[in-house]
Amino acid sequence: MTDAGLFQRLVERTGRVIVLRIDGVPVEAREGDLLITAILLHRPSLRRFEFADAMRAGFCLMAACQDCWVQLADGRRLRACSTPVAEGMDVLIEGPSHD
Amino acid sequence: MTEARDPVIAVIGAGPAGLRAAETLAAAGLRPVLFDEALRPGGQIYRQPPAGAERPPAQLYGFEAAKATRLHGVVARAAGRIDYRPETLVWSLAEGQLDSVGPHGYARLAYDRIVLATGAMDRVLPFPGWTLPGVFTLGAAQIALKAQGVALGRRVVLVGAGPLLPLVAHQLRKAGANVVAALDVTPFWPKLANLPGMLALPGTLAKGLWYTARNRLAGLAVQANVQALRVEGKARVEALVWRDAAGREHRIACDAVAASFGLRSETQLADLAGCRFGFDATTRQWLPQVSAAGRSDIATVYLAGDGAGIGGADAAELRGERAALAVLEDLGRKVDGARQGVLDRGLARHARFRRALEAAYPFPSHLLDNLPDDTLLCRCEGVSVGTLRDAVGRCEVTEMNRLKALTRIGMGRCQGRVCGQAAAELLARACEADIAAAGRLRGNPPVKPIPFRKIEA
């Protein structure tokens, strides 16, 4: 249960399936999903907190708190609550810790 | 010889206030530049889902569907008379010019007048466990539902200190989310005592009572007068523990908590513009000073909507139009005096309603009493309440910017947007001084993180 996704879809969506990777594992999202949704439907959190041994999962969902910046394997950093998911995004959550 | 040209009017924010301002300016023959951080217009209250996640307006906005649809159509109806720039952040502002970053990279615009309609976010107060994955704001619960059709978890607890609580509870329940509790940290009796004042807007009051009644019928009674909160969990939310007025603790198993305590104005751009601020004792926030018509103390800067003090979406529409009329009047254009009168009378009714609403949901300062030292205060930098108290004890810090310099509180990615108000409250407590004496964090550009690669582009 502790590894189960956080979000729960209430409204089924029929749009195109989009495949992204989370720590190398392919997972499915739907067209219209924001990156935060695509991640938290499958995972309980989306990034390591850089100043302690803890994880974060975003907070405000309105691009104000800046808690949901995620790292992509290609070097990009994206704010997950304001970025639509796109095919082939390769999200790194369990990267090396920063201590 | 100077060349005659139309003045450049920038409108920042495409919620109810910004859209109405832009619409009014366009109708007067100007071509305002409308900056929107979001993918689509509507702001947070009338937020539109991304392409592929659309749903019928009645499902998304309930009673407010007609208003939302009308506002969403403003840009299209203006048929090119509004220079709409979506996904574009205004990250810096100075006298007569602004800097933005968007899909086409970095740009600078010289403006003659600017209308700031920057909106609001949830007012956030810390409590033990509030940074665990699964704790969000109440606004986040609403956005997750509206923009994405998702619930924050499978067992969701809602915590609030304002009318958003019964509304979000109703919306989530109706959509099939499992809301296991709704907790109000304010007492019940001021809501009764202020019903007469809220009759200034009977329709709005009726909707609030209707949501509350529907929640009760569905077996979800809002628990009022909650005294303290704590979230438990190891790697994620496992339970919320709350204390009632009799001192009893209650534990609710859950995997998500949506908690916030009213709203706070988004004022950083007004600060960069150099607007004069004053301390508002009711909402305990520093706000840019603004006239009823939306004029700031700077001739080129106008303020509208919740960014200039919380008034709600309907008031924001009126304030947006009113500020646009002030712009037109100041440019020497002819404006409709009768329309100004209608707006001013409407705004006066909203002001009476707002005073009663604020009194019905007083600031829950008890939540900040006796917070444990190890409670995180600044979630960006991971700085605890104890660090603030130590800094006050050791260095006799009494003011917010000094506190920031010494502790990094408010120095992170959010620029103090999330923790600033609570930090001021806790600083005032630690100093045994008035909250107004703690001052406010100075705004600094960029107001939000911006990518270097876009600056280089």
Q: What is the pLDDT of residues B370-413, one digit of tens each?
A: 999 999 999 999 999 999 999 999 888 999 999 999 999 999 99
Interface of A with B in 30-69 (CB under 8 A): 30-34, 37, 41, 44-45, 49, 51-52, 54-67, 69
Q: How many residues does chain A have?
A: 99
pLDDT at residue A3, rounded to an integer: 81
> Is there a single domain that holds both residue B226 and residue B286?
no
Q: Which residues make beta-bridge pairs with B257? A: B135, B157
Residue A2 has pLDDT above 90, yes or no: no
pLDDT at residue B391, rounded to an integer: 95
Q: Is residue B379 part of a domain?
A: yes
What's the rounded Cα separation, in Å, for the pair B257 and B124? 13
Choice among B2-6, B162-166, B364-368 with the minimum mean pLDDT: B2-6
pLDDT at residue B455, rounded to an integer: 53
Measured at the CA of B136, the angle between CA B189 and CA B450, to 5 degrees, comes to: 125
pLDDT at residue B451, rounded to an integer: 83
Total tally of structural domains belonging to chain B: 3
Per the CB < 8 Å rule, is B149 touching A10? yes
Average pLDDT (B161-177) is: 96
CB contacts, 8 Å: B418 with chain A = 59-60, 64-65
Residue A99 has pLDDT above 50, yes or no: no
pLDDT at residue B2, rounded to an integer: 53
What's the rounded Cα separation, in Å, for the pair B407 and B420? 13
DSSP state of B110: E
Residues A87/A19, Cβ–Cβ less than 8 Å: yes
pLDDT at residue A97, rounded to an integer: 45
pLDDT at residue B3, rounded to an integer: 55
Question: What CATH number should be reported for the domain holding residue B188?
Answer: 3.50.50.60
CB contacts, 8 Å: B44 with chain A = 62
pLDDT at residue A94, rounded to an integer: 87
Residue A98 has pLDDT above 80, yes or no: no
What's the rounded Cα separation, in Å, for the pair B256 and B394? 38
Mean pLDDT (chain A, rounded): 93
What's the rounded Cα separation, in Å, for the pair A90 and B372? 39
pLDDT at residue B312, rounded to an integer: 96
- CA B308 to centroid of chain Cα atoms: 10
Choice among A38-42, A69-73, B393-397 with the minimum mean pLDDT: B393-397
Of all helices (H) and strands (E), which one includes residue B358? helix B337-360
Of all helices (H) and strands (E), which one includes residue B328? helix B313-330
Q: Which among A2, A60, A82 has CB closest to B139?
A: A60
Question: What CATH number should be reported for the domain holding residue B396?
Answer: 1.10.10.1100
Task: Give DSSP secondary structure letters for chain A.
Answer: -TTS-S-EESS---S-EEEEEETTEEEEEETT-BHHHHHHTT-S-SEE-TTSS-EE--S-SSSSS---EEEETTS-EEEGGGSB--TT-EEESS-----
pLDDT at residue A96, rounded to an integer: 52
> Is there a single domain that holds both residue B150 and residue B211?
yes
Residue A40: closest C-alpha in chain B:
B152
Q: Which has more pLDDT, B101 or A96?
A: B101
Per the CB < 8 Å rule, is B149 touching A11? yes
Q: Which has more pLDDT, B2 or B297?
A: B297
Please choose, from the candidates B240, B142, B124, B16, the residue with its C-alpha nearest in 3D space to the C-alpha of residue A66: B124
Domains, in order of start, for chain A: 17-92 (3.10.20.30)
Average pLDDT (B85-99) is: 96
Mean pLDDT (chain B, rounded): 95
Q: Is residue B360 part of a domain?
A: no
Residues B202/B210, Cβ–Cβ less than 8 Å: no
Average pLDDT (B58-84) is: 96
> Is there a single domain that holds both residue B85 and residue B39?
yes
pLDDT at residue A88, rounded to an integer: 95
> Is there a single domain that holds both residue B269 and residue B255?
no
Number of Cβ within a 10 Å radius of residue B289: 16
pLDDT at residue B396, rounded to an integer: 83
Q: What is the pLDDT of residues B189-206, one digit of tens each?
A: 999 999 999 999 999 999
Q: Which among B131, B140, B175 has CB closest to A61?
A: B140
Residue B327 has pLDDT above 60, yes or no: yes
What's the rounded Cα separation, in Å, for the pair B380 and A63? 14
Strands B113-116 and B9-12: parallel
With cut-offs at 50, 70 and 90, classify the pLDDT of residue B342: very high
> Is there a single domain that holds both residue B134 and residue B253?
yes
Residue B448 has pLDDT above 80, yes or no: yes
Give the CA distances from residue A61 to residues B119, B258, B351, B381, in Å, rounded to whole numbers and listed in that order: 15, 11, 29, 19
- The pTM for the full model equals 0.96
Average pLDDT (B101-127) is: 97
Average pLDDT (B289-294) is: 97
Q: What percentage of chain B has pLDDT greater than the value 70?
A: 98
Residues A76/A91, Cβ–Cβ less than 8 Å: no
> Is there a single domain that holds both residue B133 and residue B226?
yes
pLDDT at residue B395, rounded to an integer: 84
Q: Is residue B145 part of a domain?
A: yes
Q: What percentage of chain B has pLDDT greater than the value 90?
A: 96
Q: What is the pLDDT of residues B348-377, one digit of tens each?
A: 999 999 999 999 999 999 999 999 999 999
Q: What is the ipTM of this complex?
A: 0.95
CB contacts, 8 Å: B134 with chain A = 6, 44, 57
Per the CB < 8 Å rule, is B136 touching A61? yes
DSSP state of B136: E
Determine the structural domain holding residue B404 and report its residue range.
Answer: 371-438
What's the rounded Cα separation, in Å, for the pair B402 and B414? 18
> Is there a single domain that holds both residue B18 and residue B39?
yes
CB contacts, 8 Å: B149 with chain A = 9-11, 13
CB contacts, 8 Å: B235 with chain A = 2, 44-45, 55
Q: Is residue B31 part of a domain?
A: yes
> Is there a single domain that holds both residue B149 and residue B240?
yes
With cut-offs at 50, 70 and 90, classify the pLDDT of residue A95: low
Residue B373: exposed, middle, or buried by beta-carbon count in 10 A (0-12, 13-18, 19+)? exposed
Q: Which residue has the tokens 């916030």?
A: B260
With cut-offs at 50, 70 and 90, classify the pLDDT of residue B453: low
Please choose, from the candidates B98, B112, B100, B84, the residue with its C-alpha nearest in 3D space to the C-alpha of residue B5: B112
User: b/e string for B176-199 if b means 16 or more Cβ within 10 A?
Assistant: ebbbbbbbbbbbeeebeebeebbe
What's the rounded Cα separation, in Å, for the pair B95 and B315? 28
Per the CB < 8 Å rule, is A7 touching B134? no
Strands B256-259 and B156-160: parallel
